[in-house]
Amino acid sequence: MSRIRQQNVTAAQWSPNGNAPGPVDLTQPANNPFGKNVFSLAAQRQRLPKDVFKRLQRTLEQGEAIDPSLADSVANAMKEWALEKGATHFTHMFQPLTGLTAEKHDSFFSPDDDGTALAEFSGKELIQGEPDASSFPTGGVRATFEARGYTAWDPTSPAFILENPNGALFCIPTAFASWTGEALDAKIPLLRSMDALSRSAIRALRLLGDDQSERVFTTVGPEQEYFLIDEQYYFERLDLIHTGRTLFGAQPPKGHELDDHYFGSIPERILACMMETERELAKLGVPVKTRHNEVAPNQYEIAPVFENSNVGSDHQQLTMQLMRKIARRYGLVCLLHEKPYAGVNGSGKHNNWSMGTDTGVNLLDPGETPAENINFLFFCAAVIQAVNKHQGLLRASVAALGQDTRLGANEAPPAIISIFLGGELEKVFEAIASGEGDPHTPGSFLGLGTPVLPPLPMHGGDRNRTSPFAFTGNKFEFRTLGSSQSLAFPNSVLNTIVAEAIDELADKLESAVGEGSLAEAVTSVVKDAYDGNRQICFGGDNYSEEWHSEAERRGLKNLHTTPDALPEVLADQSVAAFEKYEVLSRRELESRFEVWVEQYATLANIEAETAAAMARTQLLPAALRHLALVEEAGVGELASETRGLVDEFVEAIRELERANTYPEDVEGMDLAIYARDNQLTAMNRVREVADRLERIVADDLWPLPTYAEMLFIK
């Protein structure tokens, strides 16, 4: 049956879905939904017996384990709160190594002797669940005889209610481990890495003269890019359904060269969808702040206010989940793939990252006092050292199949990690490195002839959108993350490697302090760190060819694909850092490596199989019908052109089908490399011919919605 373009008309139609609250009076606190479905601090204060509340807070502040008697009381209050909100079930929500979110629901209710049902929820059930989780990937950590993992409540991330038209679900943020204590999830290493960084930073702060701070938190504020597509187009495309991206599609006549979309006014239907998503996120306490159109047509961005890394990471998972869910209420599908459309901008996630003390000081904010400036230079130098030393690991922390279609292509950071400091900050470091920075008249190296360290005149205006890792005034922005990615691992890596660098610098500071003033000691430590690591700093255009050769001259790593990058996870210095800070053991790292390699090969195979099926059963028949058409019309030139292309297409499909038959005995990394070098290359060849066919086959015969339709009809 041929495809009729009538769909385009219905795809463009939209009317509000009836969920609209309309404008409400937001001066009335009751009308503000923020945090309504969160068992927040306020809810805890209100619901828990006073002494229980206090003990719980103390336990959390000191990072200790929860006392079982405390847990019973907390569980009871949670249950009452959840039942009032209509929750029939509870779940321990966790992030297995797949990077997705996992949940298993249990009812609060059990039958009572008298034939009725009784709602129960004990402290034991709150603290520890036992999912029958033998199907989650473990990379060999769990033998089947010890197949059970267990989930443990993470009291530092608040519990919440997820609403459904038919009820509600009480969700308990949770960590997931094996019975032998190995982390089987993304949260445990993140929490461990936050602890590690806190210990190192507090040690350094003491040396720097701060005796107030007790704890340092890492913070994260992710900017999430995404596409929306009309569901009619989505469900007409097996590639979108199975792989999240289009495996075929000729370039549209109009791309984003007109720049008429970026920061443009948001179409009403899209804005309505965003508003409902944000309202639902607000109920869950996710502090969404910013929304705008992105560069590509039908591409958008959402960003929250930053939070501590653990809560921020949980909230990011929720954000992705709700974006997907709520788009469907508007006849849309939310695409979180890194590159849904070839030749069009991809989607990333900018991981804004910093460190802050419990006394409220952002350690990456140059600040306004001399002491803050000294601290800032010290911590900033530590980040530079960490990123240079572990550039390969950072690259590996964002490796995934979807990323291989984006990184290093135009309009996305290259696969080379480098740091953009910005003109002013670079000047400061250069002055210190060249010895022009005299700590006693520090104004000299800041170029502001005052006798004491003045505030560094850092501002957010100095931007480099091509940099993978940029200083943006009071934080670093790690811009290389993929749009579908969990924040947990990249942030675990960042925290761990910076903890290590802080300690390395603190060791030097300890010995340097004896020899002169604190300012002199810090200056010499910062000078050494910058001197030894300045190769990672680059202020130019990361998209340019020259940078690739320059980076190679500098000896920076350029890890193009996931199979190139993943071995960095197991590099000696990576394992050493993770083990030293007890974030991940070698065994835990090996298990992750194994899972990620397998995931890459599996997903590549799904892409290649999907492409083969679509080419053979959807596109080839269309091409053959078209061939019959032109042959019948007797226009010889068209017939031979079409026949030539069809022959090429058949040849390419055969090649892909051969590649899709796995060779014997290939597994693990070899299989990943096989998939990359055989299946994906054969698939790209099929696509290349198909896209040429799309340009000549009769429009009513071509079975797939085109790029022009998917990107521009909204």
| Interacting residue ranges for Mg ion, rule: CB under 5 A | 350
Name which of 223 and 426 has its Cβ closer to ligand ADP.
223
Name which of 125 and 338 has its Cβ closer to Mg ion.
338
Q: How far is CA 404 from CA 311, 396, 398, 566, 587, in A?
A: 28, 12, 10, 12, 27
Name which of 10 and 290 has its Cβ closer to ligand ADP.
290
Site residues, ligand ADP (CB under 6 A):
219-221, 223, 303-306, 352-354, 362, 460, 472, 474-475
- Partner from Mg ion, ligand ADP, none contacting 538, C-beta within 5 to 8 A by type: none
CB atoms within 10 A of CB 599: 18
DSSP codes of every residue in 99-151: SS-B--EEESEEE-TTSSEEE---HHHHHEE----TTS--TTSS-GGG--EEE
Torsion angle, CA of 263/269/270/274, rounded to 10 degrees?
Answer: 120
Measured from the CB of residue 241, what is the shortest distance to ligand ADP in angstroms?
A: 31
Measured from the CB of residue 660, what is the shortest distance to ligand ADP in angstroms?
A: 42
Distance CA(710)–CA(688), nearest Å, equals: 19
Measured from the CB of residue 598, what is the shortest distance to Mg ion in angstroms?
A: 33
Measured from the CB of residue 487, what is the shortest distance to ligand ADP in angstroms?
A: 11
Name which of 173 and 356 has its Cβ closer to ligand ADP.
356
Contact 417, 490 (CB under 8 A): no
- Partner from ligand ADP, Mg ion, none contacting 375, C-beta within 5 to 8 A by type: none
Measured from the CB of residue 363, what is the shortest distance to ligand ADP in angstroms?
A: 9
Name which of 387 and 584 has its Cβ closer to Mg ion.
387
Phi, psi of 214 (to 5 degrees): -110, -25
3-state DSSP assignment of residue 90? strand
Name which of 352 and 391 has its Cβ closer to ligand ADP.
352
CA diameter of the chain: 93
Name which of 405 and 474 has its Cβ closer to ligand ADP.
474
- Partner from Mg ion, ligand ADP, none contacting 92, C-beta within 5 to 8 A by type: none
- Partner from ligand ADP, Mg ion, none contacting 401, C-beta within 5 to 8 A by type: none
Which residue is nearest to Mg ion, using beta carbons?
350
- Partner from ligand ADP, Mg ion, none contacting 150, C-beta within 5 to 8 A by type: none
Contact 509, 204 (CB under 8 A): yes
Q: Both tokens of residue 236?
A: 């007409």
> Which residue, 351, 417, 397, 408, is CA-closest to 571?
397
Strand partners, 302: 224, 291
CA 549 to chain centre: 29
Which residue is nearest to ligand ADP, using beta carbons?
221
Contact 127, 153 (CB under 8 A): yes
Q: Both tokens of residue 383?
A: 């980040």
Name which of 129 and 304 has its Cβ closer to Mg ion.
304
Distance CA(471)–CA(422), nearest Å, equals: 7
Name which of 491 and 679 has its Cβ closer to ligand ADP.
491
Name which of 476 and 596 has its Cβ closer to Mg ion.
476
Measured from the CB of residue 301, what is the shortest distance to Mg ion in angstroms?
A: 9
- Give the start-end residues of each E strand in 559-611: none
DSSP codes of every residue in 358-403: TTS-BTTS--SSHHHHHHHHHHHHHHHHHHHHTHHHHHHHT--HHH
Name which of 350 and 406 has its Cβ closer to Mg ion.
350
Rama region for 582: left / alpha / beta (φ>0; ψ in -120 to 50; rest)? left
Measured from the CB of residue 309, what is the shortest distance to ligand ADP in angstroms?
A: 9
- Partner from ligand ADP, Mg ion, none contacting 306, C-beta within 5 to 8 A by type: ligand ADP
Query: How many C-alpha atoms does 184 have within 13 Å on its Cβ side?
Result: 28
Measured from the CB of residue 412, what is the shortest distance to Mg ion in angstroms?
A: 14
- Partner from ligand ADP, Mg ion, none contacting 142, C-beta within 5 to 8 A by type: none
DSSP codes of every residue in 47-62: HS-HHHHHHHHHHHHT
Measured from the CB of residue 350, what is the shortest distance to Mg ion in angstroms?
A: 5
Give 690: exposed, middle or buried? Use CB within 10 Å, 0-12, 13-18, 19+.
Answer: buried
Q: Where are the alpha helices (DSSP H) in 412-487?
A: 423-433, 443-446
Measured from the CB of residue 263, what is the shortest distance to Mg ion in angstroms?
A: 13
Name which of 92 and 350 has its Cβ closer to Mg ion.
350
- Partner from ligand ADP, Mg ion, none contacting 303, C-beta within 5 to 8 A by type: ligand ADP
Measured from the CB of residue 215, what is the shortest distance to ligand ADP in angstroms?
A: 16
Measured from the CB of residue 376, what is the shortest distance to ligand ADP in angstroms?
A: 13
Name which of 237 and 350 has its Cβ closer to Mg ion.
350
Measured from the CB of residue 313, what is the shortest distance to ligand ADP in angstroms?
A: 12
- Partner from ligand ADP, Mg ion, none contacting 353, C-beta within 5 to 8 A by type: ligand ADP
Distance CA(206)–CA(535), nearest Å, equals: 30
Phi, psi of 109 (to 5 degrees): -95, 135
- Partner from ligand ADP, Mg ion, none contacting 392, C-beta within 5 to 8 A by type: none
Contact 623, 617 (CB under 8 A): no
